[in-house]
Amino acid sequence: MTLAATEETFLTQTEPLRRELLAHCYRMVGSVQDAEDLVQETYLRAWRAFHGFENRSSVRTWMYRIATNTCLTALEGRARRPLPTGLGQPAADPAHELNPRHEVPWLEPVPDDVLWSGPATDPADEVVTRDNVRLALVAALQHLTAQQRAVVLLCDVLRWRAAEAAEALGISVASVNSSLQRARAHLAKVAEQEPVALDDGDPRLRTLLEEYVRAFEEYDMERLVAALTEDAVWEMPPFLDWFEGARQIAALITQHCPANGPGDMRLLPARANGQVVLGLYMRGEDGVHRAFNLHLPTVTPDGVARVTAWFDTALFARVGLPAELPAD
């Protein structure tokens, strides 16, 4: 077979897997950009080894094996990507100064367009689901060791047998089962603490999100308190501080947000991690609203229970939002 024919065969067999491999690498490392780089490295490694691939396993299994080990190599000696609530410090007082930590490699959202931009697939065959890329799960995975992450993703997300995971990772079946037990225990504990979010098909979701948006755009803190659950949690990378309680969150915005009144803030929807995200734009002195932070709200039947608000405005372009809005 010619080199061109071999390359065509390789791409035909492996290119349809790129999206799900990106999701897999994102769950492993918590960064879209890092995941994209690791997928590229996976394809390079696979191409170099393709001549020796003898169909002893499916191409998909083979590619996941390469991707997982590529991620494990990249994670050696690398700090995990947390959210502020995962660092162990208590909720902060909104009256105090905020503490930015730009040196921390914070967990990032993944745009839906990156994961579901291809043609629709049979739901029964869908590997990348909204449940397995939700932010709470990816944040919980970052607290596991790299090997535990790999094992739980291979066995619980991809449904591999322990023996298959052991062969892919070059460890014993006993090690796989031990890692899996510890990982499941941690994830179960996190799941117990997480609010149960409304899904996209629930009509209450739109109504509750509209109330949340109006509260910001009208600069109505009482309305915001009503839109949040009483024990809502607010965190905002790169700030170390996080806040708990609807009134504490309203006080935080009143004291630290540069908005002064109605119209100063506008919010536009996009999607990331399988759910709605909201880009918040702040009005400048020239009347132009510019990207300020990106909210990912967890909406429950009782209101918005958790918000992660990233101050990395580069995320706006990644989720398809403009950097600024026209002057009124």
pLDDT in tens, 198-245: 988 899 999 999 999 999 999 999 999 999 999 999 999 999 999 999
Give me the helices (H) in the chain, please. Answer: 3-14, 18-29, 32-49, 59-75, 112-115, 135-141, 146-152, 162-169, 173-193, 203-217, 221-227, 246-256, 314-318
Q: Is the pLDDT of residue 328 over 70?
A: no
Is it true that the peptide bond before 195 is cis, omega within 30 degrees of 0?
A: no
Can you tell me the mean pLDDT for 277-300?
Answer: 96
End-to-end distance of the chain based on CA atoms, in angstroms? 63
Please provide the DSSP assignment of 5-59 as one string.
HHHHHHHHHHGGGHHHHHHHHHHHHS-HHHHHHHHHHHHHHHHHHGGG--SSS-H
Q: Is the pLDDT of residue 1 over 50?
A: yes
Architecture per CATH, 3-78+109-120+146-193? Up-down Bundle (1.20)
Which of 124-128, 189-193, 255-259, 267-271 is least confident? 124-128
The residue extents of the domains of the chain are: 3-78+109-120+146-193, 203-325
Structure-block tokens of residue 102 = 């730009």
Q: Is the pLDDT of residue 125 over 80?
A: no
Q: Which one has a higher pLDDT value, 196 or 178?
A: 178
CATH topology of domain 203-325: Nuclear Transport Factor 2; Chain: A, (3.10.450)
Q: Give the burial class of 76: count Cβ atoms within 10 A of its Cβ; 0-12 exposed, 13-18 middle, 19 or more buried.
A: exposed
* 87 within 8 A of 107, measured Cβ to Cβ: no
DSSP-assigned beta bridge partners for residue 180: none
* 215 within 8 A of 224, measured Cβ to Cβ: yes
Using alpha carbons, list the distances in angstroms from residue 293 to 58, 87, 112, 214. 43, 21, 18, 16
